[in-house]
């Protein structure tokens, strides 16, 4: 059903048709799969990059100016690329790694390349939030740099890191809309194919509901975990 | 030879490209087991001096010996060991919010690789000493200022340090709590014989706890000696000023019937 020949209300009613939702089961599974894998990759690499950035900062625990400047520059370059451009750039990279430039894996590469730099910056700003006095205390006790990172900085900033990760997962979800371009399927693919190309706005609406719910759940879970942690620590 | 022996210590910073001399030839001798007061106005260089003693800051020149060991010559590994023996307590406590009281106190032992069972024994012992036995499961966020500083002191003590550097440890506390914390430090000093370097701008804290003191001004000690002697007979202008301020402080407090 299309908005071109039906009223908004009719399209909304039609968007709850069980037939439409049956057709969305597989795309939902695809979106969840791509989101989960991409998020884990973003989490791991973003955390490592963000930590490196914080440590090698000239005022950091392990200052290496060259590394700090070049990685900062590299991240900024990646961040300045629009998502579509990133996808086009990642096509040859995916072919290099997986031997083909389409499919779920290629899609995950593009999403990771786009979201890792963002999450790395979020991690950096979370880690920099730590009260310098705590680091001073840890040093005065004789902690090594590694101990300060893993036993002090990361645990102390964990609630903020979790909030940042929530933001990153939501960015990943919004990027899965582009998965269709790689033939990787997903909700976004359905939305574009039926909603845009065939004017089936009832299907488009159904996809929108799902994306909205996914984002709400992500944000809700992120807030819940981080608030629980703050409450346990008696900080709120 | 004294336990802590500092000779001709210099340290400059370059905050905005301009040279700022913070320590200008500091000499200091502290006897083992004493509580030694260092007083000075804000910006005099007290914290910088403390940070040099556990080498969180590297002095430009001069020497610092603790128990005969020149700490400016220590290698990386030895330095970490040295820091474990020079504990520090802070004005802002600097506790770890992610750890409960028990795990704050156990932190120094944990990073030193002490076995769990031994850690528990030692933490329980120290917690008892500072009066925190009932609070081990609490998180610092839920404690009062006085309790937080007790955790700070316990964390400092747990490794059986040779020296405690107390940098304005009571400056954020109300007078009554200050008194309790000073009493605690005195008790610890008496029981364990740990040397305490008490940095403060609170005269009453020094008068209450220390036998000897030194007045730091613009990066050097302008007066040193017996606490009573300095207050009764100050040689320098700053010493005089401090003595005067203290007198007024006492007079006021006596009128209100409180104070230290
Ligand atoms: N890392 C640093 N870089 C630049 N300047 C510094 C640094 N550390 C300290 N200073 C400067 O050195 C001077 C002495 O600082 P310090 O913290 O030792 O003083 P203080 O006697 O402890 O003062 P307060 O009573 O306010 O704590 C100050 O002017 C301070 O701004
Ligand atoms: Mg200071």
pLDDT at position A85 is 87
**Residue A147 token pair:** 């101990």
Check CB contact of A152 with chain B, cutoff 8 Å.
yes
**Segment B167-183 mean pLDDT:** 95
The H or E element spanning position B156 is helix B145-157
Higher-pLDDT residue of B203 and B153 is B153
Indicate if the pLDDT at residue B26 is higher than 80. yes
In percent, how much of chain B has pLDDT > 90?
A: 79
* Ligand 2 ion: nearby residues, β-carbon < 5 Å: B 47
- Chain A residue numbers touching B163 (CB-CB < 8 A): none
pLDDT at position B249 is 59
- Chain B residue numbers touching A130 (CB-CB < 8 A): none
- Chain A residue numbers touching B108 (CB-CB < 8 A): 141-142
pLDDT at position B257 is 41
**Where does residue A71 rank: exposed (0-12), middle (13-18), buried (19+ CB within 10 A)?**
middle
pLDDT band of residue A184 (cuts 50, 70, 90) is confident
pLDDT one-digit tens code per residue, B84-110: 999 999 999 999 999 999 999 999 999
pLDDT one-digit tens code per residue, A45-96: 999 999 999 999 999 999 999 999 999 999 999 999 988 888 888 888 888 9
**Residue B190 token pair:** 């008496």
pLDDT at position A89 is 87
pLDDT one-digit tens code per residue, A86-116: 888 888 888 898 888 888 888 899 999 999 9
pLDDT at position B258 is 42
For atom 30 of ligand 1, the residue with the nearest CA is B43
Task: Name which of B56, B78, B97 to mutate to probe chain A: the one with the most chain A Cβ atoms within 10 A of its Cβ.
Answer: B97
Distance CA B217, CA B204 (A): 19
For atom 9 of ligand 1, the residue with the nearest CA is B48
Candidate CATH numbers 3.30.1370.160, 3.40.50.300, 2.30.30.30, 2.40.110.10; the one for domain B4-251:
3.40.50.300
Looking at every residue in chain B, the average pLDDT score rounds to 91
What is each CA distance from A212 to B80, B118, B242, in whole angstroms? Answer: 52, 53, 66
Secondary structure (DSSP) of A56-95:
HSTTSSS--HHHHHHHHHHHHHHHTS-HHHHHHHHHHHHH
Indicate if the pLDDT at residue B138 is higher than 70. yes
A133/B140 touch (CB, cutoff 8 Å), yes or no: no
Total count of domains within chain A: 1
pLDDT at position B229 is 85
**Residue B52 token pair:** 């040099």
pLDDT at position A99 is 86
pLDDT at position A156 is 98
pLDDT at position B204 is 86
A220 within domain boundaries:
no
Query: Domain residues for A141?
Result: 31-188
Closest B-chain CA to A154: B98
Count the neighbouring beta carbons within 10 Å of the beta carbon of residue B104.
26
Closest A-chain CA to B138: A233
B96/A142 touch (CB, cutoff 8 Å), yes or no: no
- Cα dihedral value A62, A65, A66, A72, nearest 10: 90
pLDDT at position B247 is 66
**Residue B85 token pair:** 């023996």
pLDDT one-digit tens code per residue, B229-257: 887 877 777 777 777 766 665 666 544 44
In percent, how much of chain B has pLDDT > 70?
A: 93
Angle between helices A104-128 and A65-79 (to 10 degrees): 130
Return the biggest CA–CA distance within chain A: 74
A172 within domain boundaries:
yes
Least confident of A197-211, A221-235, B147-161, B241-255: B241-255
**Segment A190-214 mean pLDDT:** 90
In percent, how much of chain A has pLDDT > 70?
A: 100
A177 within domain boundaries:
yes
SS3 content of chain B, % helix, strand, coil (to 5): 45, 25, 30
**Segment B8-22 mean pLDDT:** 95
B98/A233 touch (CB, cutoff 8 Å), yes or no: yes
Q: Enumerate the β-bridge partners of residue A231.
A: none
Distance CA B216, CA B39 (A): 6
Tokens 């010559």, residue?
A: B73
Indicate if the pLDDT at residue B22 is higher than 80. yes
**Residue B241 token pair:** 């000023």
**Where does residue B15 rank: exposed (0-12), middle (13-18), buried (19+ CB within 10 A)?**
exposed
What CATH number is associated with residue A87? 1.10.3720.10
- Chain A residue numbers touching B159 (CB-CB < 8 A): 141
**Where does residue B193 rank: exposed (0-12), middle (13-18), buried (19+ CB within 10 A)?**
exposed
A81 within domain boundaries:
yes
Task: Name which of B55, B86, B88, B111 to mutate to probe chain A: the one with the most chain A Cβ atoms within 10 A of its Cβ.
Answer: B111
A235 within domain boundaries:
no
Count the neighbouring beta carbons within 10 Å of the beta carbon of residue A59.
8
Q: Is B5 helix (H, G, I), strand (E, B) or coil?
A: strand
Angle at A132 between CA A126 and CA A135, to 5 degrees: 95
Please, are residues B105 and B123 in contact by the beta-carbon 8 Å criterion? Answer: yes
pLDDT band of residue A124 (cuts 50, 70, 90) is very high
Indicate if the pLDDT at residue A180 is higher than 80. no
């Amino acid at each position: 059903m299309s908005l071109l020949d039906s009223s908004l209300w009719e399209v909304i009613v039609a968007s709850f048709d069980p037939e439409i939702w049956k057709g969305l089961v597989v795309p939902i599974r695809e979106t969840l799969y791509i989101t989960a894998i991409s998020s884990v990759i973003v989490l791991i690499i973003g955390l490592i990059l963000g930590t490196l950035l914080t440590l090698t900062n000239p005022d950091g625990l392990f200052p290496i100016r060259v590394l700090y400047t070049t990685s900062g520059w590299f991240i900024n370059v990646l961040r300045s690329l629009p998502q579509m451009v990133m996808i086009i750039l990642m096509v040859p990279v995916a072919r290099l790694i997986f031997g083909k430039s389409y499919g779920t894996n290629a899609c995950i590469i593009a999403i990771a390349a786009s979201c890792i730099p963002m999450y790395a910056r979020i991690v950096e700003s979370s880690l920099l939030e730590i009260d310098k006095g705590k680091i001073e205390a840890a040093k005065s006790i004789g902690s090594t740099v590694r101990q300060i990172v893993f036993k002090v900085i990361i645990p102390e900033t964990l609630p903020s890191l979790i909030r940042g990760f929530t933001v990153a997962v939501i960015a990943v979800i919004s990027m899965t809309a582009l998965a269709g371009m790689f033939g990787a399927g997903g909700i976004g693919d359905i939305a574009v194919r039926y909603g845009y190309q065939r004017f089936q706005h009832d299907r488009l609406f159904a996809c929108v509901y799902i994306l909205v719910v996914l984002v709400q759940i992500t944000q809700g879970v992120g807030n819940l975990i981080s608030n629980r942690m703050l409450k346990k620590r008696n900080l709120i | 030879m004294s336990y802590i022996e500092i000779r001709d210590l210099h340290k400059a910073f370059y905050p905005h490209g301009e040279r700022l001399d913070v320590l200008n030839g500091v000499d200091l001798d502290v006897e083992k087991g004493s509580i030694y007061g260092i007083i000075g106005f804000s910006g005099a260089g007290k914290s910088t001096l403390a940070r040099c003693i556990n080498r969180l800051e590297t002095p430009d020149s001069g020497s610092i010996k603790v128990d005969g060991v020149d700490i400016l010559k220590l290698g990386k590994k030895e330095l970490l060991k040295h820091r474990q023996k020079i504990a520090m307590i802070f004005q802002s406590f600097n506790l770890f919010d992610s750890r409960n009281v028990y795990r704050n106190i156990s932190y120094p032992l944990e990073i030193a690789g002490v076995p769990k069972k031994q850690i528990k024994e030692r933490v329980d012992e120290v917690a008892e000493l500072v009066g925190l036995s009932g609070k081990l499961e609490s998180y610092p966020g839920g404690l009062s200022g006085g309790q937080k500083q007790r955790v700070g002191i316990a964390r400092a003590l747990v490794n059986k340090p040779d020296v405690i550097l107390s940098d304005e440890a009571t400056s954020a506390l109300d007078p009554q709590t200050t008194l309790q914390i000073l009493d605690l430090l005195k008790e610890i000093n008496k029981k364990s014989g740990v040397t305490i370097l008490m940095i403060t701008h609170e005269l009453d804290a020094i008068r209450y706890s220390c036998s000897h003191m030194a007045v730091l001004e613009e990066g050097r000690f302008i007066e040193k000696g017996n606490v009573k002697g300095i207050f009764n007979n100050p040689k320098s202008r700053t010493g005089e000023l401090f003595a005067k301020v203290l007198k007024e402080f006492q007079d006021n407090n006596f009128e209100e019937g409180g104070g230290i």
